[in-house]
Amino acid sequence: MGFANPFEFLKAHPQCSSDGFLDYIKFFYCGCKGFRIVGYVVLGVWLAALFYLLGNTVVNYFCCSLEKLSHLLRLPPTIVGVSLLPLGNGAPDVFANIAAFFGDKYR
């Protein structure tokens, strides 16, 4: 069961691959085999770019209630948009999952 390197493990276990737009694990372990520091740098820059794009989108589509929350919490609007806006966006899914989990109890 021992593998020579992570690339061999990923080849033996295809279920570890991502179905997303980019397969970060395969990129890091297979594409940057001998150059892990390059993989860390590329993925770190990509993460920074994604946060920048998220913050830039928040500035363009900021709503009034979040603006008042940012003043109330004394936080910059970008921070409130990056943290509270996704939290509010995912809240219906969380409550639907909780209702589905406890819903069988009453049938």
User: How do residues 37-71 score in pLDDT, each as one tens digit?
Assistant: 888 899 899 999 998 988 787 677 767 777 788 88
Span 13-29, average pLDDT: 71
Mean pLDDT, the chain, as a whole number? 77
pLDDT at 19: 72
Locate the domains of the chain by residue range. Answer: 35-106
What H or E segment, with its residue span, contains residue 39?
helix 36-60
Query: The whole model's pTM is what?
Result: 0.52
pLDDT at 46: 92
Q: Distances in Å between the alpha carbon of 70 and those of 58, 79, 102, 104?
A: 13, 8, 34, 39
28 falls in which pLDDT band (50, 70, 90)? Answer: confident
Which pair of tokens denotes residue 86?
A: 């996704």
